[in-house]
Structure 1
Amino acid sequence: MQKKMPLRKCIGCQEMKNKKSLIRIVKNKEDEFFVDLTGKLNGRGAYICPTQDCLALAIKSKGLERSFKCQIPEEVYEQMKRELGQNE
């Protein structure tokens, strides 16, 4: 019997995808944001596809603000752009 693959929704394109193929952004209790490439950091998580297109859609539609219910500092978006640039 095959195991179920966990699915998560991308905050950019709004598509359900395999959790392992997405990048996780985490907000911890101290309201700090991290790009979690391992998927194991503690805190509230949101998922995004590892493409510049999905990041642009997430910024335009305020996907992170909606997921975390707070303002997102510009540094978080800059860090995400750097991480996505390294992954491509």
Structure 2
Amino acid sequence: MKTRKIPMRKCVVSNEMKPKKEMIRIVRSKEGEVSIDPTGKLAGRGAYLSIEPEVVQLSWDNKTLDRILNTSLTDDFYQELLDYVTHQKARRELFSNDK
């Protein structure tokens, strides 16, 4: 059986290359709205972050996403992103042990 190629993406904070499934995409639409893209398919300028709360916190402290997406993000958005990443990481750890 032929092995499938795993798409890799670079985290904008840590500059690490990781499989796309281990990343979260943040997208800025043409209208300037920034949102979390769990599917990875929304139209617009995207940036990838590792699903690690420490990486999101570092991004928040350094305003990395503001620079990358060329916009100004609110603390509410960063808090929502941190909550989302924490939840996703907990789910991965919970369900990966069942295998």
TM over 0.5: yes
How well do the aligned residues superpose, as a CA RMSD in angstroms?
1.6
Query: Aligned partners of 2:67, 2:8: CA distance in 1, in Å?
Result: 19
Identify which of structures 1 and 2 has the higher relative contact order when contacts are C-alpha pairs closer than 8 Å and 6+ apart. 1
Structure 1 unaligned spans of 5+: none
Q: How many residues align?
A: 88
Aligned-residue sequence identity (percent) comes to 36
Q: TM-score if structure 1 supplies the norm length?
A: 0.84
Mapped to 1, the partners of 2:75 and 2:5 lie a distance apart of 36
Secondary structure, counterpart of 1:58 in structure 2: helix
Aligned residue runs from structure 1 range 1-88, under 5 A: 2-87=3-88, 88=90
How much has 1:61 moved relative to structure 2?
A: 2.5
The TM-score normalised by the length of structure 2 is: 0.76
